[in-house]
Amino acid sequence: MRGGASPDPDHGIAMIQPPLLQLTDISKSFGAIRALRSAQFELRAGEIHALAGENGAGKSTLMNIIDGILRPDSGEIRIDGQAVQIDSPAAAQRLGIGFVHQEIALCGDVSVAENIFMPQTAQSRRKLMGGAELIARAAEVLAPLAEIDPRLPADHLSISQQQLVEIAKALTLDCRILILDEPTAALTEHEAQKLFAIMRGLAAKGIGIIYISHRMAEIFGTCDRVTVMRDGQHIRTDRTADITPADVVNAMVGRKLDTLYPPKMTGDRGPEILRVEGLTDRRFRDVSFALHRGEILGFGGLIGAGRSEIARGITRLEGDARGRIWLEAQEVAFRDYADCISRGIVYLSEDRKGDGVFLDLSIAANISALDLSKVAGRFGVIDPARETAQAWRIGKSLRLKAASMAQRVASLSGGNQQKVALAKLLAVEPKVIFLDEPTRGVDVGAKAEIHAILRGLADSGVGIVVISSELPELIGLCDRVLVVSEGCITGALSGPDLTETNIMTLAAPGALASAGTGT
Amino acid sequence: MTATTTTQQDRTLLSRLFGARETGLVLIILVLFLIMTFASPHFLTWTNMRAMTMAFSVEAIVVVGMTILLISGGIDLSVGSVTALAMVVAGLLFLAGVNPWIAALIAIAVCAGIGAIMGFFVTVVGLHHFIVTLAAMVIARGLCLLGTGGRPLGLFELPASFKWIGIGSIGVIPVAIVIFVIVVAVFDFLLRRTTAFRLVYYTGSNEKAAAYSGIRTKRVIFLTTMLCSTLCGVAGVIYMARFGSAQPTFGVGMELNVIAAAVIGGASLSGGKGTIFGAILGAILLSLVSSSLALLNVSVYWQDIIRGSILLAAVTFDHYLVKRQAAGGRA
């Protein structure tokens, strides 16, 4: 132990000592998006402090600032009462900060032992260890966590074992502040319990632990205090003994809708256009639902719950889902995604730049990509005039802002790129559209436009499924929302039941029993 | 003011015809042509022009295949060996008494088969183009040497009607050049204007986005790999007709020349970019430089150094162009 913060056996009692870590008025913007607005956070030595909030509440940004990955625009960081500058992860490491990220970043070909001691090797703070010593030390660190052979290459391990190796890596750093970002997402119940025991042991030694999680059971079972963030701001900090899970959920979602959404479907919904029954694959099971003509159906839930996988399973973009699908009351079995497109079902990926558009190609070439026959004459010869005309026609209906349809998509703004991605789908005049996070990373104005466009499409008879991690979007835009949790549909919400609290309750299975909200 | 407007108009006119890259190459070639006309009395002669065009016209057929493959995101290192293999297969069959035209067709089919095998390893097994075609390069060369015992096959009995495709003329124009012009024109049109070849651009530009657009990308990559080898077969057969022999060691290092031409012409090793016309201009430029240096009695060793430098300059230019466009796009 460096520093010498005294262990506080009775944590929770106000201390005369300054807090171990104190963040004051931290603000951070990414372009027009304000990720953090005067955020506050305090961590005491020897406590396990839960940090809760919706996706996009600013938790990760705040943690990345503590770890030196991001620099705050303004605000102050104090450790033991001393103001500090954290310019890089290496600087954070020198200050005794350890961060276990949600994403696993091990070197696959390298042994577990070498992965665990990689930070020391990189810093060359220590003399390099020989093979035998390295393996013995690694085995020692791993022992309380799991039975993992430190000589194995890291990519021979399961995801949960890899996650445990990441934790072991942080434990070797002698850190005083340990950040764990949803560490149990990939762990089994048994592994998670072992992790909690280790966390309590570390806390007893005076280490401060920041624990990010969505799971109410973990927050209330393991943590001493909980801080809730929303919209980049600090909402409340309480001892877990003093509040209930419902208080935390309410604090996470309790806000008014602040953007205008288009009016919802009026009158009776149209006939059923798509029916899915008992769809099962590796990442989801027994998924059944029906989509109606003119309806916007939301898929709500946490990131990683399996919503995208369900959409990609239905459209046969990935996996090998079993189950039955009816399109316009006719049972169908799609061979592949191309077959699915030809029947009028299309999917828009959440990763716009990665797989939504062709950045190097022109707007016109992008828009005609799904069905070139629409712009081609005999013998498959493309008619450039028709291709350009199609691009202008669809572009205009989406209010796409571009000087020319020959312009490369890379030169457009995020909102306009998203419109090109949408225009690609509309060119085939689809009957059913799956949209995965359709407004992620687009500015507020373009977002409202995209919402209006989607409602317009629904009104023209298209069935639309929107996957969104933004609760206001689900509630404001969708006629009905299916909540997915751990690969299962846990509920359908519409009308007055369609509230943020209900979605969050159904989304986090741990909260289902304890929060006790009626559905 | 007026001058600026005119220049801009001119530029748009030229760009409309060719695109920026092609325009630049045409200008460089013209300048080089003018310089050489004054620098050497032997340059602008019918014999020299004919020899120069003949020199690159057959290889240009391979450049076409390579460019299409590069656009789809692949690469083929085996082109030189496969071209030689076409000569050897056709040559052996002819010596065994097969009609030369049939022998040529079989040789082209063998090359297509090699392309299909490489395509299988890339798309079904999932190996990288570079490794698969490197292996094929070595194996095809081995087959050539095995089939001939390492010695060139003299094909003295080749009928004149067959040799015509290599050394004959239509009027004053050599047949090889006619074939080259037809191949280039056809594939340039196909690539620019047809749906089937548009899929090549989609696949190479962003394979995942192409798959998410319902394009069967593996099929596209398989077919472009096969097409490239098939065109090598065509080139090999024409070479055989021209030389009247089958040379098992022919085409060593051809892949570098061919890839260089395509890249100078605007193709990118990361796929999604390039045109046939640009690649042919790249091939013309390289060939022009080679023959100019030869006419000026520059050592052959210098030629390689200069060709390598041109390649580096072209790619560096591209790199900055892309960076500037990206910066402009963000603003």
Task: Say how many CB pairs under 8 Å bridge A and B.
Answer: 81
Identify the structural domains of chain A with CATH numbers, from first to last.
20-89+206-252 (3.40.50.300), 262-344+430-519 (3.40.50.300), 356-429 (no CATH)
- The pLDDT, as a whole number, for residue B18 is 56
Radius of gyration of chain A (CA): 25
pLDDT at B17 over 90: no
A425 touches chain B (CB under 8 A): no
- The pLDDT, as a whole number, for residue A360 is 87
First CA to last CA across chain B, in angstroms?
Answer: 27
Q: In what order do the strands lie in the sheet with A480-485?
A: A345-348, A432-436, A463-467, A296-300, A480-485, A488-494
* Domain B61-319 in CATH 3.30.1150: no
- The pLDDT, as a whole number, for residue A402 is 84
pLDDT tens per residue across all 519 residues of chain A: 344 444 444 444 455 678 999 999 999 987 666 789 999 999 999 999 999 887 668 888 899 999 998 899 999 999 999 999 999 988 898 899 988 887 778 887 888 888 888 877 666 555 556 678 888 888 888 888 778 888 888 888 877 788 888 888 888 888 899 999 888 877 777 788 888 988 998 899 899 999 998 777 889 999 999 999 988 899 999 999 999 888 887 888 765 444 568 888 777 778 999 999 999 998 899 999 999 999 999 999 887 788 999 999 999 998 888 999 999 999 999 999 999 999 999 999 888 777 889 988 999 999 999 999 889 988 899 999 999 999 999 999 888 888 889 888 888 877 788 899 999 999 999 999 999 988 876 666 677 788 989 999 999 999 999 999 878 889 989 999 999 998 899 999 988 899 888 888 888 765 444 444 433
The ipTM value here is: 0.83
Name the closest residue on chain A to residue B194, using Cα atoms. A381
Residue A280 makes CB contacts below 8 A (sequence gap 6+) with A286, A287, A321, A322, A323
Query: What whole-number distance in Å separates Cα of residue B318 and Cα of residue B323?
Result: 9
DSSP secondary-structure letter at A356? I
A329's torsion region: left (phi>0), alpha (psi -120 to 50) or beta? left
Give yes or no for a contact between A471 and A302, defined as CB atoms under 8 angstroms apart: no
Interface of B with A in 271-300 (CB under 8 A): 272-273
AA letter at B70: L
Q: How confident is the model at residue B44 (pLDDT cuts 50, 70, 90)?
A: confident
Most confident of A200-204, B118-122, B152-156, B192-196: B118-122
Residue of B194, B201, B273 with shortest CB distance to A380: B194
Asked if B211's CB is within 8 angstroms of A355's CB, the reply is yes
- Count the helix, strand and coil residues of chain A and give each as a percent rounded to the nearest 5: 35, 25, 40
pLDDT top residue among B10 and A68: A68
Nearest to A210 by CA among A16, A21, A400: A21
B325 touches chain A (CB under 8 A): yes
Query: What whole-number distance in Å separates Cα of residue B260 and Cα of residue B265?
Result: 8
pLDDT top residue among A439 and B88: B88
Measured in angstroms, the CA of A157 and the nearest CA of chain B are apart by: 23
Beta-bridged to residue A280, according to DSSP, are A322
Measured in angstroms, the CA of B93 and the nearest CA of chain A are apart by: 37
Query: What whole-number distance in Å separates Cα of residue B225 and Cα of residue B133?
Result: 10
Query: What whole-number distance in Å separates Cα of residue B286 and Cα of residue B60?
Result: 11
pLDDT top residue among B221 and B48: B221
Q: How confident is the model at residue B11 (pLDDT cuts 50, 70, 90)?
A: very low
Give yes or no for a contact between A265 and A295, defined as CB atoms under 8 angstroms apart: yes
Domain positions in chain B are 61-319
Q: Per residue in B224-255, pLDDT tens?
A: 999 999 999 999 999 999 999 999 999 998 99
Give yes or no for a contact between A158 and A104, defined as CB atoms under 8 angstroms apart: no
pLDDT at B297 over 90: no
- The pLDDT, as a whole number, for residue A1 is 39
Tokens 């262990």 label which residue? A7
Cβ neighbourhood burial of A409 (10 Å; 0-12, 13-18, 19+): buried
Q: How many residues does chain A have?
A: 519
Query: What whole-number distance in Å separates Cα of residue B278 and Cα of residue B4?
Result: 27
Cβ neighbourhood burial of A375 (10 Å; 0-12, 13-18, 19+): buried
Q: Per residue in B203-220, pLDDT tens?
A: 999 999 999 999 999 999
Asked if B202's CB is within 8 angstroms of A360's CB, the reply is no
Residue of A337, A355, A373 with shortest CB distance to B214: A337
Q: How many residues does chain B have?
A: 331
- The pLDDT, as a whole number, for residue B12 is 46
- Cβ contacts of A360 on chain B, cutoff 8 Å: 205-206, 272-273
